[in-house]
Amino acid sequence: MPPETLHFPPSQAALLAPYLPSTTSTTSSSRPHLTLTFATSLDSALSLRPGTQTALSGPESKAMTHYLRSRHSAILIGAGTAVADDPGLNCRIAGCASQPRPVVLDPSARWQVGDGSKVVRLAREGAGLAPFVVVRAGVEVSRERRAVLERVGGRYIPAPCEEGGGFAWRDVLAVLEREGLDSVMVEGGGAVINSLLAGANLRLVDSVIVTIAPTWLGKGGVVVSPHRPGGEDGTEPAARLVGVKWCPLGEDVVLCGRPA
Ligand SMILES: NC(=O)c1ccc[n+]([C@@H]2O[C@H](COP(=O)([O-])OP(=O)(O)OC[C@H]3O[C@@H](n4cnc5c(N)ncnc54)[C@H](O)[C@@H]3O)[C@@H](O)[C@H]2O)c1
Ligand SMILES: Nc1nc(=O)c(N)c(NC[C@H](O)[C@H](O)[C@H](O)COP(=O)(O)O)[nH]1
């Protein structure tokens, strides 16, 4: 099958510009620009069930997601998405000038990445970059598994973990910075998005771009609904976006904003 090629019109790209990392700025920010982006149903679900992929974006907003990939130096997902989706994580916009570096948060190295994984195949074909897999410092990864990534230009990167077993976002951003990646779009899934939207982590998010599809997935799906420490007794304010723009795109609507 010939590779899929997507087109995203410049008029629509212009609407997103204020929310994207600058292409000209010379200010040296202390951390990478972080864009949080995902597709959701009307009942805030990312997929019908954990462990499965659900297509939500229509063709126009799918092309937008690929345009966003072309505008960031890294694209980040959690291990749950890597295992469920076998994603490609490349940019399929016609004439895409620079491919994003896939980054997978996988503290326990549970993603069984192999020569047949889509992201590895695309890297081998020169249609994308090989992934950096961030694992808990000290976790065992076999020589064969390391070789799969290293043959195509990827690798495992150790980082410290917090008590709960996940990474602190500041440590993740520090890894990206050390690798020379100055912007990242975080694509999901549920655990990653909910963690970034919770409490002080939200301060690390520069912009949010959400595709909302006209469908209800019903109960049992993977849902975006961040934990709000102190939310029950009203001491933690609700998370909210400011500088908001709503853009209809095909049958979907795309919401852009910045954390208040
Ligand atoms: N609609 C969309 O835009 C979209 C996008 C991505 C994924 N998805 C869907 O989401 C589902 C996967 O979501 P999920 O919640 O199971 O997995 P996930 O992709 O959020 O990965 C979670 C894993 O990431 C690791 N991790 C490390 N540090 C972390 C941190 N600080 N915070 C959170 N996780 C951390 C942990 O191992 C954790 O188990 C799949 O069904 C996938 O198809 C949908
Ligand atoms: N924008 C968007 N719309 C969707 O309907 C959907 N299911 C995802 N899901 C995001 C998740 O990160 C997926 O794993 C990658 O979208 C798959 O990546 P590829 O297309 O294989 O590159 N993202």
| pLDDT confidence band for 240 (50 / 70 / 90) | very high
| pLDDT confidence band for 158 (50 / 70 / 90) | very high
Q: Do residues 58 and 249 touch, judged by C-beta distance below 8 A?
A: yes
Q: Which atom of ligand 1 is nearest to the CA of 85?
A: 43
Q: What average pLDDT is seen over the chain? A: 95
pLDDT tops 80 at residue 213: yes
Ligand 2 center to 56 CA (angstroms): 9
HSE value, Cβ hemisphere, 13 Å, CA-based, for 201: 19
- Say what the ipTM of the complex is: 0.98
Q: Report the pLDDT value the prediction gives residue 26, as an integer from 0 to 100.
A: 55
Q: Which ligand is nearest to the Cα of residue 167, counting in written order?
A: 1
Q: Round to the nearest angstrom and report the end-to-end CA distance of the chain.
A: 45
Q: Report the pLDDT value the prediction gives residue 229, as an integer from 0 to 100.
A: 73
Ligand 1 center to 225 CA (angstroms): 13
The protein residue with its alpha carbon nearest to ligand 2, atom 7, reads 55
Amino acid at 111: W
Let me know the angle formed at the C-alpha of 235 by 234 and 236, rounded to the nearest 5 degrees.
95
Distance CA 46, CA 187 (A): 11
179: left (phi over 0), alpha (psi -120 to 50) or beta: alpha
Q: Report the pLDDT value the prediction gives residue 15, as an integer from 0 to 100.
A: 96
Ligand 2 center to 128 CA (angstroms): 15
Which CATH architecture fits 31-224+240-259?
A: 3-Layer(aba) Sandwich (3.40)
Spell out which residues line ligand 2, taking CB within 6 angstroms: 39, 53-57, 65, 77, 81, 85, 87-89, 187-188, 211
pLDDT tops 90 at residue 152: yes
Closest to 125 measured CA to CA, from 137, 117, 136, 133? 117
Residue to probe by mutation, ligand 2, list 37, 44, 89, most atoms within 8 Å of CB = 89
Determine which of 50-64, 173-187, 215-229, 231-245 has the lowest per-residue pLDDT on average.
231-245
What tokens does 193 get?
Answer: 């998005």
Let me know the angle formed at the C-alpha of 196 by 192 and 199, rounded to the nearest 5 degrees.
140
Amino acid at 3: P
Ligand 1 center to 190 CA (angstroms): 5
Distance CA 104, CA 87 (A): 11
Distance CA 94, CA 70 (A): 10
Distance CA 185, CA 38 (A): 10
Residue to probe by mutation, ligand 1, list 36, 46, 54, most atoms within 8 Å of CB = 46
pLDDT tops 80 at residue 232: no
What are the boundaries of each domain within the chain? Answer: 31-224+240-259
Cβ-in-10-Å burial (0-12, 13-18, 19+) of 241 comes to middle
Closest to 99 measured CA to CA, from 83, 133, 81, 122? 122
SS3 46: strand
**Phi, psi (deg, nearest 5) at residue 159:** -150, 155
Q: Do residues 51 and 43 touch, judged by C-beta distance below 8 A?
A: no
Residues 156-177, mean pLDDT to the nearest whole number: 97
Q: Do residues 217 and 45 touch, judged by C-beta distance below 8 A?
A: yes
Compute how many other C-beta atoms are within 10 angstroms of the C-beta atom of residue 199.
Answer: 15
Cβ-in-10-Å burial (0-12, 13-18, 19+) of 233 comes to exposed
Q: Report the pLDDT value the prediction gives residue 30, as an integer from 0 to 100.
A: 78
